[in-house]
């Protein structure tokens, strides 16, 4: 095949491993988002650019033509259905493709076009006549590395001279002979082995180094040190590029160690707001009563699409079973599922095969499902101490009412305690949460 690696990776034992704890596994979350995302996320914020040399002109492009890409690559880009650069690409691509090469640290949420951008940069910088590794890209997990590889293969579809190899566990290689693939993508440990112990890659010949998902990277034990050790093997004039979805201090410190003299590009995530969302509560006596109330609402829920949040996996599966028993078609997104299974559930929900998705908070945190009109809090979000968890509340209901659409949030209340939580949420956002009447949902689109 075209641009395909000669080295076929084996699925390794870590393939389906998951963090079973309460904390969502960042690498999994990121993978899931990549698996379910086929378009750019909408983001109306402006890109912030901090140039290393503030006196040099700031280039930004509105078209791919302006980048003077190789025709094979331009064809690849258009073949992927890209018409114009994304927000972040408008600024990042000219910097990455500049001569002499510039270093870059870029931060923007998942789905804003980072992977496509650095894939294009690597493909552009490669000299296919040279049969050695020139671009090195590291990513936190096997699965995420594979995702990047797929993007490079698609984009390089009309540029088959460029070959790609995966430096991931399970790809057993013999010591000594040098790789001929111009681009290598892998996880830090294996990449380090290939550069040092096995000497398959001469790090001094690397001209572009990419570190993707820096925030996920540093969350994994050992990856930070390995990444820094790889970076130290590279020549001084190697272009260094680092990407991250978030930017806490720890990520920032790490980024500065990986990328000397960086240009910095940031695109803030769109703030979530309760302002465009009509919020209601429904008074119930207990769990069964909440279920009955939900059934009464069901017609409204399925006019558009709804997500129902439960406190635990157990309640989520109970509710799903009850709704199914009533003859309703619902999907369940649950923590027991593999990433592939979860992606399949979300995909079905997305294309409307099921109109209602039942989930827990842990499971769906960080997942972008955009077209939900109604969010039902079957259980209200609370913290460890049983107080209102307003941040989670906002994340949950922030999925509705986006981009000019009307959103609805319905909170199931089954005790004085939960009514008190409603009060706390009202106070926190300074917005009334009204008692639900039967005709309140008439405007659901």
User: Would you say 34 or 278 has its CB closer to ligand ADP?
Assistant: 34
Backbone phi and psi for residue 358, each to the nearest 5 degrees, phi listed first: -100, 135
Contact residues for 163 (Cβ-Cβ < 8 A; gap 6+) = 3, 4, 5, 6, 180, 181, 182, 183
User: Would you say 4 or 35 has its CB closer to ligand ADP?
Assistant: 35
Strands 183-186 and 135-138: parallel
27 is written with which tokens? Answer: 């690498």
Least CB distance from residue 174 to ligand ADP, whole Å?
33
Least CB distance from residue 114 to ligand ADP, whole Å?
3
How much is the CA Rg of the chain, to the nearest whole Å?
Answer: 24
Strands 306-310 and 356-360: parallel
Task: By CB under 6 A, name the binding residues for ligand ADP.
Answer: 37-40, 80, 82, 85-86, 89, 110-116
User: Would you say 72 or 89 has its CB closer to ligand ADP?
Assistant: 89
Which residues are bridge partners to 336 per DSSP? none
How far is residue 344's CA from residue 339's CA, in Å, rounded to a whole number? 9
How far is residue 76's CA from residue 249's CA, in Å, rounded to a whole number? 37
For the range 258-262, what are the long-range contacts, defined as Cβ-Cβ under 8 Å and sequence gap of 24 or more?
258/211, 258/214, 258/227, 258/228, 258/231, 259/103, 259/104, 259/105, 260/103, 261/52, 261/103, 262/52, 262/103, 262/104, 262/105
User: Would you say 63 or 324 has its CB closer to ligand ADP?
Assistant: 63
How far is residue 21's CA from residue 407's CA, in Å, rounded to a whole number? 32
Least CB distance from residue 310 to ligand ADP, whole Å?
28
Q: Are 14 and 142 in contact (CB under 8 A)?
A: yes
User: Would you say 39 or 430 has its CB closer to ligand ADP?
Assistant: 39
Least CB distance from residue 38 to ligand ADP, whole Å?
5
Least CB distance from residue 118 to ligand ADP, whole Å?
8
User: Would you say 140 or 401 has its CB closer to ligand ADP?
Assistant: 140
Least CB distance from residue 240 to ligand ADP, whole Å?
18
Least CB distance from residue 108 to ligand ADP, whole Å?
6
**DSSP letter string over 403-442?**
TT--EEEEEEE-SHHHHHHHHHHHHHHT---EEP-GGGGG
User: Would you say 115 or 364 has its CB closer to ligand ADP?
Assistant: 115
CB atoms within 10 A of CB 1: 8
Can you say whether residue 124 is alpha, beta or left, with left for phi > 0 and alpha for psi between -120 and 50 degrees? alpha
365 is written with which tokens? Answer: 């945190």
Least CB distance from residue 117 to ligand ADP, whole Å?
7
User: Would you say 89 or 411 has its CB closer to ligand ADP?
Assistant: 89
User: Would you say 38 or 236 has its CB closer to ligand ADP?
Assistant: 38
How far is residue 105's CA from residue 255's CA, in Å, rounded to a whole number? 7
Least CB distance from residue 236 to ligand ADP, whole Å?
28
Furthest-apart CA pair in the chain: how many Å? 74
Least CB distance from residue 357 to ligand ADP, whole Å?
21
428 is written with which tokens? Answer: 């926190």
User: Would you say 116 or 421 has its CB closer to ligand ADP?
Assistant: 116
Can you say whether residue 111 is alpha, beta or left, with left for phi > 0 and alpha for psi between -120 and 50 degrees? left
């Amino acid at each position: 095949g075209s641009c395909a690696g000669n080295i076929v990776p084996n699925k390794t034992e870590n393939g389906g491993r998951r963090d079973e704890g309460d904390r969502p596994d960042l690498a999994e979350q990121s993978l899931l988002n990549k698996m379910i995302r086929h378009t750019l996320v909408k983001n109306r914020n402006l890109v912030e650019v901090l140039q290393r040399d503030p006196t040099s002109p700031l280039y930004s492009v509105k078209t791919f033509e302006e980048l003077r890409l190789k025709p094979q690559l331009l064809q690849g880009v258009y073949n992927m259905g890209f018409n114009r650069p994304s927000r972040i690409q408008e600024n990042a691509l000219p910097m990455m493709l500049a001569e002499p090469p510039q270093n870059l640290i870029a931060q923007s949420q998942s789905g804003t076009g980072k992977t496509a951008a650095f894939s294009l940069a690597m493909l552009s910088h490669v000299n296919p006549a040279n049969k050695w590794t020139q671009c090195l890209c590291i990513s936190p997990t096997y699965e995420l590395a594979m995702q990047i590889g797929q993007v490079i293969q698609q984009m390089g579809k009309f540029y088959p001279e460029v070959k790609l190899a995966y430096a991931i566990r399970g790809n057993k290689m013999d010591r000594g002979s040098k790789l001929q693939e111009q681009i290598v993508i892998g996880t830090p440990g294996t990449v380090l082995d290939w550069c040092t112990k096995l000497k398959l890659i001469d790090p001094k010949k690397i001209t572009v180094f990419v570190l993707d998902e820096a925030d996920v990277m540093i969350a994994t034990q050992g990856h930070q040190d390995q990444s820094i050790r790889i970076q130290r093997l590279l020549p001084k004039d190697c272009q260094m590029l680092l990407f991250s979805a978030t930017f806490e201090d720890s990520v920032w410190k790490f980024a500065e160690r990986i990328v000397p003299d960086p240009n910095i590009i940031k695109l803030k995530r769109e703030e979530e707001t309760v302002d465009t969302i009509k919020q209601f509560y429904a008074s119930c006596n207990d769990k069964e009563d909440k279920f009955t109330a939900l059934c009464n609402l069901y017609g409204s829920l399925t006019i558009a699409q709804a997500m129902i949040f439960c406190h635990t996996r157990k309640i989520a599966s109970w509710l799903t079973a009850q709704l199914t028993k009533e003859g309703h078609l619902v999907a369940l997104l649950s923590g027991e599922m593999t990433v592939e299974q979860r992606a399949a559930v979300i995909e079905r929900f997305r294309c409307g095969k099921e109109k209602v998705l039942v989930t827990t908070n842990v499971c769906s945190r960080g997942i972008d499902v955009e077209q939900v009109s109604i969010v039902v809090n079957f259980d209200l979000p609370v913290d460890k101490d049983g107080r209102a968890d307003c941040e989670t509340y906002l994340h949950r209901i922030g999925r509705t009412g986006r981009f000019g659409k009307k959103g609805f949030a319905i909170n199931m209340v089954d005790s004085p305690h939960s009514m008190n939580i409603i009060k706390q949420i009202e106070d926190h956002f300074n917005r009334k949460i009204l008692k639900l009447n039967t005709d309140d949902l008439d405007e659901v689109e």
